[in-house]
Structures are given as structure tokens and as C-alpha cells.
Structure 1
């Protein structure tokens, strides 16, 4: 089993979350909804395949900064998704959280969580 942070072993992620890993899964999200949040961009799409799992992926381009900054931003996005998506995400949907320069890594964590909740509400509206 793979954890939400991508590391093997340890405790399994919540049963309802699965990690998007391959490029076609991310490209399919381009046909979905794009919701800019204060500290990241959320892409969301209803898969419509009957699978109740919530798919989530994370990405940060080199525009976000060096490897340290990109990894910090992705760690924060992973933790926010782990806390918010089981309650606010919808079964059968895929989400991608895309980090932004000088915003994702520096935003207070409580505000990052609020950004994700608001972005999910907009995506589902």
C-alpha cells in the first residue's frame, strides 16, 4: 500500500483517497474545472466511472522555486488534502493541487486549509 505522501509501507492512507501518479490522469483534469485559490490552483473533475475513491495529485513547477521550496509546498498541500478532502471532497472526483510561487509555502497553514475548503465549494457549485 502507498501512503498519500507517496512513501511505501507504514500506515495506509484513508480508504477513500488515492494518489494520482501518471500524466494521463493529470491531463484528464484539464478537461475539468479550474478554481484559483489564494495559495494554489485546484483542478477538479468528476470521473463518472463509478469508483467511489477520491483521487488527488500534487504538482509544483520550477517557477515555485528550487527543489527545497517545491517539496515544502507539496508537503503542505498533501497535508491539507489529507485533512480536508475526506470530508469536503466528493466520491468519484479527481483533484489536482498545483502550488504557486511565494504563496503555497509561505501561507499560514490555517489559511491554506480555508483556501482548499473554499476552492472545493466553488468546484462543486
Structure 2
């Protein structure tokens, strides 16, 4: 399997996984998205991604496009976060799905990845 694939094990699929991120995760904001990040207590590195796209964003075709673009960004940048993190991405209402493409995702998530990584490293050092 290619190292740039995004297998099912790298996705959040169950409600308890999402709930744990919402309740115990650190909330990060950017212009069009809210990201909940929770460090896992496991040795296997890499992020697991969950997407919550409400019907308020648009019909199913639009919601699926938002999910595809966000997933593609994280697939391409998965090597930049080698920490065991669960991320839940929630788009804000002001997101215009028609303008969302990979370059907008880069602008939104690149600085956010740095903040998430810094916060996760800081939290892990505080636990020790």
C-alpha cells in the first residue's frame, strides 16, 4: 500500500471517538474551520481524522466535496504530524463550499497544524 494512502484505520468512525475529542480535546479555531485535537495514549504514530459536516453547509454533494478536500489535505500532509492524535474537523457556517479547494485548505490548515503539534507536545511534556 502506498505511504500516501489514507486507510480506514486512520479515520474516526464511532461516536465515542468523536465524543472523546469534543469533550477532552483542545479546540483550535481558524477562519473557516474548528479543529478538536486529542492526543491518544498509544505508541502508534499518526493522526486519525474525523469530519463533521452539517446539513447547514449544503446538500450531500457539497458536504461530500468539503470532506474530500479536507481529507486530501491531511492525506498529503500526514507525514508532518507523527504524533498519535485524533482530529475532528468542523466547518464553520461562513465557509463557502464553492470556493473550497486544496489551496484554501492549505492556507487554513498549514498554520493550524503547527499550533496543534505545539499544543500536543506541550501537553505531553506536562503529563510527564
TM-score normalised to structure 1 length: 0.76
Please, which of 64, 78, 99 is the counterpart of residue 91 of structure 2?
A: 99
Structure 1 counterpart of 2:13 = 21
Is the CA contact 1:40–1:100 (under 8 Å) kept in the aligned structure 2?
yes
Alignment of 1:30-49 (within 5 A): 30=22, 31-49=24-42
Pairwise CA RMSD: 2.6
Distance between the aligned counterparts of 2:4 and 2:100, measured in 1? 28
3-state SS, counterpart of residue 77 of structure 2: helix
Structure 1 range deviating more: 74-83 or 113-122: 113-122
From the CA coordinates, give the structure whose radius of gyration is larger: 2
Is the CA contact 2:73–2:106 (under 8 Å) kept in the aligned structure 1?
yes
Distance between the aligned counterparts of 1:85 and 1:12, measured in 2? 8
Distance between the aligned counterparts of 1:18 and 1:109, measured in 2? 20
4+ residue runs of structure 1 moved beyond 6 angstroms? none
Shift of 1:100: 2.9
Is the CA contact 1:73–1:104 (under 8 Å) kept in the aligned structure 2?
no
Distance between the aligned counterparts of 1:112 and 1:14, measured in 2? 17
3-state SS, counterpart of residue 45 of structure 2: coil
- Mind listing any 5+ residue stretches in structure 1 that lack a counterpart? 2-10
Distance between the aligned counterparts of 2:44 and 2:96, measured in 1? 30
